[in-house]
Amino acid sequence: MKEHINLFQPDLLEGTLKAKTPKKKQLLGTSAVVFLLLFIVVFYIQDGKKQILLKREVDAILQQRQQLEQQMASLGVLSGEKNGAGRLLTVEAILKERIAWSRVLVEVSRVVPEGVWITALENSAEKGVRLDGFALSYPKVTDLMSSLEVSPLFQDVLLDFSRQNSGERRVDFSIHTRLKQAGPENRLGKK
């Protein structure tokens, strides 16, 4: 007769076959591995798509750069020109050449006397700045011209025309002037 009772299943005892895991645990482990592999594959695909988009963007930028270099070469503006024949255009040089229109407009608004209204302001390289507008009287147009002449931004102020508007009590006018080249107040590069 046996002196003890064994409650273990015979396949769980030492030396017997390995214990069989329940099917649910095996399925859960397998599905976790499959999910992890699927996540890695999706992440890899997304990363590949991002790399393709970035490569396209870099190629477009390089193409745009090449086009700009060709345009600069056709204009004769090469940054590598060291001889005196070519003029180097740097950001500083370009800023010095550009007109600070905000300063010009502030000056125009400062010099326009009461009773005068500017309706158009036009700039052209050959003709200079043209101011069109109307005033309550001829002396107001004269005051505007005087103010423009003493302004630090304007020179060569000329009256194109002034005439009494037949339908209304006002004087229409057109004035041509040029911006002074020497003054730093109308340049962007200097303050």
What integer pLDDT is reported at residue 83 of this predicted model?
47
Calpha distance 130→30 (Å, rounded): 82
Of the candidates 23, 21, 24, which has an alpha carbon nearest to the alpha carbon of residue 11? 21
User: Which stretches within the chain are classed as H helix?
Assistant: 23-75, 91-97, 101-111, 138-150
Which residues of the chain fall short of a pLDDT of 70? 1-2, 6, 8-22, 76-97, 182-191
Measured between its terminal Cα atoms, the distance across the chain in Å is 113
Q: What is the pTM of this model?
A: 0.47
Tell me if 115 sits within 8 A of 137, measured CB to CB.
Answer: yes
Nearest partner of 148 among 137, 160, 159, judged by Cα: 159
172: which residues sit within 8 A by CB, 6+ positions away? 132, 133, 134, 161, 162, 163, 165
Determine the Cα–Cα distance for residues 61 and 173; give it in Å rounded to an integer: 49
Q: Do 106 and 153 contact (CB within 8 A), yes or no?
A: no
Residue that has been written with the tokens 């109307």 in this structure: 134
Q: What is the pLDDT of residue 77?
A: 53
Tens-place pLDDT, residues 73-114? 877 655 455 544 445 556 666 666 677 788 888 999 999 999
Burial of 157 (0-12, 13-18, 19+ CB in 10 A): buried
Q: Which amino acid is at 115?
A: G
Which DSSP letter does residue 167 get?
Answer: S
Q: Which SS3 state, helix, strand or coil, does residue 53 take?
A: helix
The reported pLDDT for the residue numbered 85 is 42
